[in-house]
Structure 1
Amino acid sequence: FDAQPRADYANQILNRAVQSGEPVTVRVVEINELPVIQVNGVNLLTVTRKDAPEGMTREEQAQRWISRIEFAIKLAQEQRRPEYIRKAILLSAFCVVGAIALSFALGWIWRNWLPRLIHLRQTNSQQLLESFLPLSLAVVRVFLWLLTVIYISNQFAQTRIWSRRIIDVLFFSFAEPIIPLGDKSYSVIQLLILLGLFSGLLIVSRSATKLLRSRILLFTGISRGAQETIALIACYTLIFIGTLVLLQLWGLDLSSLNIFAGVLGVGIGLGLQGIAKEFVSGLAIIFERHIEVGDFVNVGEYMGTVERIGLRSTQIRTLDEVAMIVPNSRFLEKEFVNWNHGNYVSRIRLPVPVAFGEDLSQVREALIDAAKDYPQVVSQPAPRVFFIGYGESSLEFELLVWIADPRRHPQIKSDLYFRIDASLRSRNIQIPFPQRDLHFRSSLPVELSRQAEAQLNNSLNNGKREESKAE
């Protein structure tokens, strides 16, 4: 007989013995010089020489199996009694309540604690992690309820076969090599292990990059932007080499991925043009170094410090302490201002109007005095004052100063204006108000209402009385 029919026949005998509820007799008899195990006088199975391990006789193996069969039958009869079923139902109810409470607790953690943790860590893939949270919560909840169903169904003899089938299906789905990749097939568990190893590779690469940045590059004396560029190139190089080594150790033939590489190339040409464009732009920024970490830049209407340069985007911390993500292609396609590129100082222009008739040399001296003692203004180049011209209401001057910290541009400009105002006031130099002259042509007829005409006459009469009193 085949193994499966023999197993089904043995299960039928054991089920009848268990369901009878009566004491079961299990013994060994010898038939044709072979030990045969009987249950209530019915032959269950024959113990052959292949069934006994080395160093044990067939009779000893038969006695071991008898002990296990008697224990299993006794346990099965115990689990079919009403007392046990009541306890199992009560335990199952507690399991359901616990699973519901744990599901709500997981939801609270995923909605409140994990987003806050991701925000505090300021990871480079913060948006990706936040978008992945709902999916991960759904996976954890499904796994929780699957374990609950398996545990509850395993408590009852009538439903234990369901739990065994669920476990068999899960084992087949995760452990059987059903995913072809190259010349071999891999199971879901193997791919999950590969993803885990790749995640470990990413963690090791980033840790090595941080160690390189903090323990080696920090003491080389090179600029911060150059340090970040070297660290970034080292990180991606480690990831690339580590991925190749990991795939080779995994037994994956890289030559079998040529078709996948071709399909990926077509996908990049059709649907991934934007990502490829940002990737190439990131490489150009890293190697050309028109912009580096720590530079103070103007991008559109925003000003800020470059905090991170990635292969797809650049993160800038604005003056409002807001992180702004800029696609790398924007730095290649549109104009931007890098206040630190090629020079460590930057210039500030401060327009200053003064009233007509003021002494120009006094104005120049006041502006120079306001700038030369300010600690944030560098001595070379020295502050300069230019007389721009005559405005509609004022004499137009412009003070030019150079600073070493462009990130403090607004604060320094505000402080200088405070100092300029104090310096002008100390010299009694007036800052003019806008003036307008209004001329009326007397030939034009002007019609006034009675109330306006009466008020005008009263004003004229009052003026005449005051003049006569003064005389």
Structure 2
Amino acid sequence: MNRQLRDVARALREARDAIDSVSIDIGHYHISLLNALWMVFVVLCTFYGARLAARIGRIMVRRVSSLDPTQKVLTEKLVTLAVWALAFFTAIDVLGISLTALTVFSGAFGLAIGFGLQKTFGNMIAGIILLMDRSIKPGDVVAVSDGKGNTFGEVKKIGLRAVSVTTRDNREYLIPNEILMTSQVENWSYSSREVAISIPVGVAYGSDIDLAERLLLEAARSAPRVLQKPAPGVLLSAFGPSAIEMQVVCWIDDPEMGVGNVRSEVLKAAWHLFRQQGVEIPFPQSDVHLRDSDGLRAVARILAERPATD
């Protein structure tokens, strides 16, 4: 038995020596096939081991009930970065690479960050800052200005590079973290999820505005998503050129569900109540005044001289 083990060990040493004999010299460095295979093995073990460790770390963080969702996301990112940094330096130590040999590489890497990767690292730092100050959290409803309009939706995920915002039509926008740091952002649920909605309504002159106010309040209360506390209100905003302009102010606590459907429900209910109670919704009107002139008199003469026809 011992002889068989010695034979196996001798065969393994011969195979190792045969693989190690296949080599090339680059300057002062001697690279053999055995060393290359060992490096590939260490890199693969480090890569998959770091992925597994990072996943286990994220699972453990998610199970901590004392952290809120934002703190959990931040802790997950920090744990992931720490695991990959530890795996990198462990692999270097196992391969026997001196850190001084990485001086040139670190200088080139610094230049790459300064020129080509500054946006990437800027977004990473901005993402960490957003998670630390908790100004934007997963589940918040935000409106971000992009120069052409506002992207309105719910924050689904805060990554190291971008924030995922899902709109009501199920479109998912990936907004770089730097934009959220440097642009004006409306956070509809930063300190409270209660949001006020203003709905303009016009009634005709001559209408009973007290009756119109009661009907508008009834229409607002009938909408399922409108809160009863704070209670809806009606304001007389202006005497417009064609209508008495009023505003219905109501509150909701689920802005991620959108506001257009609430406006539609309130206006639809107001339309039916106005028709039942005889409150008129006006259409645009204008008075035309004609000044006396020779041309106008000539037209009047021509019309008066024209024979009447059926």
TM exceeds 0.5?
Answer: yes
Change (3 A) 1:438 1:248: same
Equivalent of 1:354 in 196, 203, 220: 203
Equivalent of 1:241 in 81, 86, 95: 86
For the residues of structure 1 that align with 2:309 and 2:57, how far apart are their CA atoms? 89
**Match of residue 445 from structure 1:** 295
Equivalent residue letter for 2:93:
Q
Equivalent of 2:138 in 293, 302, 309: 293
Output the TM-score relative to the length of structure 2: 0.78
**Match of residue 47 from structure 2:** 199
Identity %: 23
1:291, distance to aligned residue in structure 2 (A): 0.7
Q: Name the SS for the 2:295 alignment partner.
A: coil
How many residues are paired up?
Answer: 283
Higher helix share: 1
Greater alpha carbon shift after TM alignment, 355-364 vs 374-383: 374-383
Equivalent residue letter for 2:108:
V
Change (3 A) 1:275 1:222: closer
Equivalent residue letter for 2:165:
I
1:222, distance to aligned residue in structure 2 (A): 5.3
1:356, distance to aligned residue in structure 2 (A): 1.0
Structure 1 alignment gaps of length 5 or more: 1-53, 56-170, 463-471
Q: Which has the higher contact order (CA 8 A, sep 6+)?
A: 2
Q: Name the SS for the 1:348 alignment partner.
A: strand
For the residues of structure 2 that align with 1:413 and 1:393, how far apart are their CA atoms? 22
Equivalent residue letter for 2:56:
A
Contact 1:224–1:294 (CA under 8 A) maintained in structure 2: no
For the residues of structure 2 that align with 1:311 and 1:205, how far apart are their CA atoms? 19
Contact 1:366–1:424 (CA under 8 A) maintained in structure 2: yes
Equivalent residue letter for 2:260:
P
For the residues of structure 2 that align with 1:264 and 1:291, how far apart are their CA atoms? 31
**Match of residue 14 from structure 2:** none
Change (3 A) 1:361 1:341: same
Change (3 A) 1:306 1:194: farther
1:283, distance to aligned residue in structure 2 (A): 1.8
Q: How does 1:88-237 map onto structure 2 within 5 Å? A: 176=23, 188-209=36-57, 211-212=59-60, 216-217=63-64, 220=65, 223-237=68-82
Equivalent residue letter for 1:243:
F
Change (3 A) 1:436 1:327: same
**Match of residue 272 from structure 2:** 422
1:199, distance to aligned residue in structure 2 (A): 3.5
1:339-393, CA deviations, whole angstroms, 9 ceiling, x for partnerless residues?
1111121121111111112222212211211122433122332212111011111
1:342 aligns with 2:187: no
Contact 2:154–2:167 (CA under 8 A) maintained in structure 1: yes
Change (3 A) 1:228 1:332: same
1:421-471, CA deviations, whole angstroms, 9 ceiling, x for partnerless residues?
2233332211110111122223241477xxx969x957x654xxxxxxxxx
**Match of residue 155 from structure 1:** none
Q: Name the SS for the 1:349 alignment partner.
A: strand
Output the TM-score relative to the length of structure 1: 0.53
For the residues of structure 2 that align with 1:293 and 1:314, how far apart are their CA atoms? 9
Contact 1:179–1:188 (CA under 8 A) maintained in structure 2: no
1:329, distance to aligned residue in structure 2 (A): 0.7
For the residues of structure 1 that align with 2:172 and 2:293, how far apart are their CA atoms? 65
**Match of residue 177 from structure 2:** 328
Contact 1:225–1:294 (CA under 8 A) maintained in structure 2: no
> Rg bigger for which structure?
1
Q: Name the SS for the 1:356 alignment partner.
A: coil
Equivalent residue letter for 1:193:
F
CA RMSD of aligned residues (A): 3.3
1:273, distance to aligned residue in structure 2 (A): 2.2
For the residues of structure 2 that align with 1:430 and 1:188, how far apart are their CA atoms? 86
1:413, distance to aligned residue in structure 2 (A): 2.5
For the residues of structure 2 that align with 1:290 and 1:246, how far apart are their CA atoms? 38
1:251, distance to aligned residue in structure 2 (A): 3.3
1:210, distance to aligned residue in structure 2 (A): 5.0
1:176, distance to aligned residue in structure 2 (A): 4.3
1:198, distance to aligned residue in structure 2 (A): 4.2
For the residues of structure 2 that align with 1:258 and 1:306, how far apart are their CA atoms? 41
